[in-house]
Amino acid sequence: MAMMAMRSRMRLSFATATLALVFLVLPAVVAARAEVKIQEVKSDKGITAWLVEDYSVPIVAVRFLFDGGSSQDPAGKEGLANLMTGLFDEGAGDLDSDAFQNRLDEAGAEMGFSESNDAVGGAMRMLADEQDEAFELLKLAVEKPRFDQAPIDRIRSQIVAGIVANARDPETEASRKWAEAIYGEHPYARPDQGTEKSLGTIAADDLRAFHKSNFARDNLHVAVVGAIDAETLKKRLDQVFGDLPEKSEMRKVERVEPKLGQTLQIEYPLPQTSLQLVYPGVPRDAPDFLAAALMEQILGGGTFSSRLFDEVREKRGLAYSVSSALINQEHSSSLIIGTATRSDRAAETLAVVRDVVRKMAEEGPTAEELEAAKKYMLGAYAINNLDSSRAIANTLVDLQTDELGIDYMQRRIDLISAVTLDQVKAVAQKLLSVEPAVMILGPKLDGGKG
């Protein structure tokens, strides 16, 4: 899964200022840690969390996800999950919006919720000595959100204003058409923010029904990092999540493969033309995933060292940046290449990208390229995933949702080191020999296949 942007509120109380100061020194402390020791903690009510104890600074970071996300929005009510995430700190239990936010400020805590296609998640960071109040507020937000009409109307108006403003942005419109072309009638084709029309149909009862069906203990993933021990965490887990329904009632979402072999040309008088190419991907649990990840790093994942960067920017100066990425969602996988170039050189750029891909498919990488990619993936993991308490908590939740196991960080080195050149060549041929889907946003480009 991809990472989700958090919506949070933080006011300048004394406790909040203290918390912010602690966060400034935390990354250096965490980065200096030689090893992340993960414990599995199971509460009396059967809620499991992964815990990293760290008393170097007096804070606790909590991250959790409920499977589901915007793919669970009912047809005609697109944007429901997204709207809901803006309302958890707008009143819960006996506290209305102002009272809840005042209590949150007094506790010196940060709270935020967000959604993706596949999950609704939340995060909280708190001072360890204020955790009683912070966890109580988190319990209210998770278990008893109010969904009062005034906050619903206000947050909905903010979202609609953004939708209306973005409607004039050609890239936003292109993204919508692109998703529809790639995913057809699948929920992934729908805008997760919804539309002005769909948001207008959403009432408080819709929000309560979504919350009831999706917020349950069987689709919950939790990670905690900081100044808290396992026994205390067991009690906190039951306090926050223990009274939720045992089983979720989510709709079944079918797997969807991107519709390849098509060209979508969206004409718009722009000085630059944006290009996107979609190839097949590899599910995270597939045996050849790491081979695919190494191949993609060589192809376009390395910012200044990839083949695409070398051929498109360094040798020809066609674009400022060009990159690739393996995208894994719960119900779909793909490999995407993206760049933007001067409109009068778009056809040339597309042809170069296709040529680089063709050579990778036919020849695969060199042994030297594979060795460099392995060194990068092994060395960059801690920098990208373990440089703060929040990053560690996010990483632990990702490992849970991907079902990689609590010992994955230890096994990862051997797994990557064991990938052979023949395996990488095989996955390159499998993924890149296919005719991709191509999107061209800009002035009309003749011969879209390059």
Per residue in 379-396, pLDDT (tens digit) is 998 888 888 899 999 999
- The two most distant CA atoms of the chain are separated, in Å, by 66
Q: How far apart are CA 387 and CA 139, in angstroms?
A: 28
Euclidean distance between CA atoms 262 and 436, whole angstroms: 7
Residues of the chain with CATH 3.30.830.10: 7-241, 263-442
pLDDT confidence band for 446 (50 / 70 / 90) = low
Residue 200 identity (one-letter amino acid): G
Q: Which CATH superfamily is domain 7-241 in?
A: Metalloenzyme, LuxS/M16 peptidase-like (3.30.830.10)
- For helices 131-143 and 97-107, the axis angle rounded to 10 degrees is 150
The structure tokens 């042994």 sit at 367
pTM exceeds cut of 0.85:
yes
Class of domain 263-442: alpha beta
Report the candidate in 107, 96, 106, 105 with the shortest Cα–Cα distance to residue 135: 107
Q: Is 310 in a helix, a strand, or coil?
A: helix
pLDDT > 90 in the chain, percent: 87
Yes or no: say if 126 and 109 are a contact pair by the CB < 8 Å rule.
yes
- How far from the centroid of its chain's Cα atoms is residue 39's Cα? 24
Beta strand 437-442 with 263-267 is parallel
* Sign of the four-CA dihedral 62, 65, 51, 48: positive
Predicted confidence (pLDDT) at residue 28 exceeds the cutoff of 60: no
Tens digit of each residue's pLDDT (9 = 90 or more) over 295-354: 999 999 977 889 999 999 999 999 999 999 999 999 999 999 999 999 999 999 999 999
